[in-house]
A and B are shown apart, each in its own frame.
Chain A
Amino acid sequence: MALKHATPMLDELEKGPWPSFVSDVKRMAAKGNKMCEDWLGLMELSFKEKEGHWKHGGIVGVFGYGGGVIGRYCDRPDLFPNVAHFHTMRVNQPCSKYYSTGILRKLCDLWEAHGSGLTNMHGSTGDIVLLGTTTDHLEPLFYELTHEFKMDLGGSGSNLRTPEGCLGMSRCEWSCINTQDIIYDLTQEYQDALHRPMFPYKFKFKSSGCPMDCVASIARSDCSIIGTWRDAIRIDQEAVKAYVGGELVPHAGADGPRKDFDIKAEVIDLCPTKCMEYDGKTLKIHTSDCVRCMHCIRVLPRALRPGLDRGATILVGAKAPILEGAQLGSVVIPFIKMESPYTEFKGFVEKMWDWWMEEGKNRERIGETIQRLTLREFLKVVELEPDPRMVNTPRFNPYIFYDPAAVPGGWEHDAAAFRQRHQA
Chain B
Amino acid sequence: MAFDPNNLMKDRITDIGPPKYDMYFPPVIKENFGKWKYHEILEPGVLKHVSESGAEIYSVRVGSARLISVDYIREVCDVADKYCGGHLRWTTRNNIEFLVSDKSKLQPLMTDLRGRGSWFPIGGTGNSITNIVHTQGWAHCHTPAIDASGVVKAVMDELFEYFGSHKLPAQIRIALACCLNMCGAVHCSDIAILGVHRKPPFVENDRVQNVCEIPLVIAACPTAAIKPKKVGEAKSVEINNSRCMFCGNCYTMCPALPLADGEGDGIALWVGGKVSNVKSAPMFSKLAVPFIPNEPPRWPTTVQTIKKIVEAYADGARRYERVGEWINRIGWERFFEKTGLQFTHEHIDDYRLAMTTWRTTTQFKF
A interface residue numbers (CB < 8 A to B)? 9-10, 12-13, 15-22, 24-25, 27-28, 36, 39, 43, 46-57, 63-65, 70, 72, 86, 88, 92-105, 108-109, 111-112, 117-122, 124, 131-132, 139-140, 143-144, 146-147, 150-152, 162, 164, 166-167, 169-173, 175, 178, 180-181, 183-184, 187-188, 191-192, 194-195, 211-216, 218-220, 249, 251-256, 266, 270, 272, 291-295, 298-299, 301-302, 320-326, 328, 361-363
B interface residue numbers (CB < 8 A to A)? 1, 3, 5, 8-9, 11-25, 29, 33-34, 36-43, 49, 57, 59, 63-74, 76-77, 80-81, 86-92, 94, 96, 118-121, 125-127, 133, 135, 137-144, 147, 149-150, 153-154, 156-157, 160, 163, 165-167, 171, 180-188, 216, 219-220, 222, 247, 249, 251, 255, 258, 260-263, 265, 275-280, 282, 284, 294, 296-298, 319-320, 351-353
A selection of 6 A-B contacts at a CB cut-off of 8 Å is: A117-B69, A118-B69, A121-B64, A171-B57, A320-B182, A325-B352
Q: Which of A20, A93, A270 contacts B18 (CB under 8 A)? A: A93
CB-defined contacts of B150 to chain A, threshold 8 Å: 10, 13, 47
- Contact across chains for A25 and B160 when beta carbons are under 8 A apart: no
- Contact across chains for A152 and B16 when beta carbons are under 8 A apart: yes
- Contact across chains for A216 and B121 when beta carbons are under 8 A apart: no
Least CB distance, B181 to chain A, in whole angstroms? 6
Contacts A108-B71, A118-B70, A171-B49 supplied; 12 other A-B pairs, CB < 8 Å: A16-B157, A20-B118, A27-B71, A36-B69, A49-B262, A104-B73, A119-B73, A146-B13, A152-B18, A183-B21, A324-B222, A363-B219
Alpha-carbon distance between A57 and B37 when the two chains are bound, in angstroms:
49
- Contact across chains for B92 and A166 when beta carbons are under 8 A apart: yes
CB-defined contacts of B70 to chain A, threshold 8 Å: 28, 108-109, 111-112, 117-119
User: Contacts A272-B279, A321-B187 known; A63 to B8 CB distance under 8 Å?
Assistant: yes
Least CB distance, B68 to chain A, in whole angstroms? 6
CB-defined contacts of A270 to chain B, threshold 8 Å: 279, 320
- Contact across chains for B24 and A170 when beta carbons are under 8 A apart: no
- Contact across chains for A219 and B188 when beta carbons are under 8 A apart: yes
Name the residue on B nearest A22 (C-beta): B153
Name the residue among B64, B165, B251 with the largest chain A CB count within 10 angstroms.
B64
Alpha-carbon distance between A187 and B20 when the two chains are bound, in angstroms:
10
- Contact across chains for B89 and A52 when beta carbons are under 8 A apart: no
CB-defined contacts of B247 to chain A, threshold 8 Å: 322
User: Contacts A92-B18, A104-B77 known; A120 to B66 CB distance under 8 Å?
Assistant: yes
User: Contacts A12-B297, A27-B71 known; A266 to B276 CB distance under 8 Å?
Assistant: no
- Contact across chains for B182 and A211 when beta carbons are under 8 A apart: no
Name the residue among A92, A99, A184 with the largest chain B CB count within 10 angstroms.
A99
Least CB distance, B26 to chain A, in whole angstroms? 8
Q: Which of B81, B127, B138 contacts A255 (CB under 8 A)? A: B127
- Contact across chains for A72 and B142 when beta carbons are under 8 A apart: yes
Q: Give the top 10 A-B pairs by smallest Cβ distance, nearest first.
A: A16-B157, A254-B126, A56-B255, A50-B262, A108-B70, A46-B138, A253-B41, A18-B156, A211-B277, A101-B77
Alpha-carbon distance between A140 and B90 when the two chains are bound, in angstroms:
27
CB-defined contacts of A146 to chain B, threshold 8 Å: 12-14, 16
- Contact across chains for A101 and B80 when beta carbons are under 8 A apart: yes
Alpha-carbon distance between A13 and B154 when the two chains are bound, in angstroms:
7
CB-defined contacts of B21 to chain A, threshold 8 Å: 94-96, 98, 170, 180-181, 183-184
Q: Which of B1, B22, B166 contacts A253 (CB under 8 A)? A: B166
Least CB distance, B35 to chain A, in whole angstroms? 8
Least CB distance, B168 to chain A, in whole angstroms? 9
- Contact across chains for A218 and B282 when beta carbons are under 8 A apart: yes
Least CB distance, A161 to chain B, in whole angstroms? 11
CB-defined contacts of B141 to chain A, threshold 8 Å: 52, 54
Q: Is the interface of B mostly helix, strand, loop or mixed?
A: loop
Least CB distance, A139 to chain B, in whole angstroms? 6
Name the residue on A nearest B280 (C-beta): A272
CB-defined contacts of A219 to chain B, threshold 8 Å: 185, 187-188, 275, 282
CB-defined contacts of A323 to chain B, threshold 8 Å: 220, 222, 249
Alpha-carbon distance between A365 and B298 when the two chains are bound, in angstroms:
36
Name the residue on A nearest B265 (C-beta): A50
- Contact across chains for B220 and A195 when beta carbons are under 8 A apart: no
- Contact across chains for A252 and B40 when beta carbons are under 8 A apart: yes
Q: Which of B92, B140, B180, B275 contacts A72 (CB under 8 A)? A: B140
- Contact across chains for B18 and A184 when beta carbons are under 8 A apart: yes
Name the residue on A nearest B87 (C-beta): A100
CB-defined contacts of B165 to chain A, threshold 8 Å: 256
Name the residue on B nearest A291 (C-beta): B277
Name the residue among A51, A301, A326 with the largest chain B CB count within 10 angstroms.
A51
User: Contacts A172-B36, A253-B42 known; A99 to B183 CB distance under 8 Å?
Assistant: no
CB-defined contacts of A191 to chain B, threshold 8 Å: 14-17
User: Contacts A139-B5, A253-B166, A302-B38 known; A94 to B140 CB distance under 8 Å?
Assistant: no
- Contact across chains for B138 and A52 when beta carbons are under 8 A apart: yes
User: Contacts A19-B119, A324-B222 known; A254 to B142 CB distance under 8 Å?
Assistant: no
CB-defined contacts of A16 to chain B, threshold 8 Å: 118, 153-154, 156-157, 160
Least CB distance, B176 to chain A, in whole angstroms? 11
Alpha-carbon distance between A171 and B141 when the two chains are bound, in angstroms:
35
Name the residue among B92, B118, B120 with the largest chain A CB count within 10 angstroms.
B92
Name the residue on A nearest B23 (C-beta): A94
CB-defined contacts of A43 to chain B, threshold 8 Å: 138-139, 147
- Contact across chains for A51 and B262 when beta carbons are under 8 A apart: yes
- Contact across chains for B138 and A140 when beta carbons are under 8 A apart: no
- Contact across chains for A294 and B36 when beta carbons are under 8 A apart: no
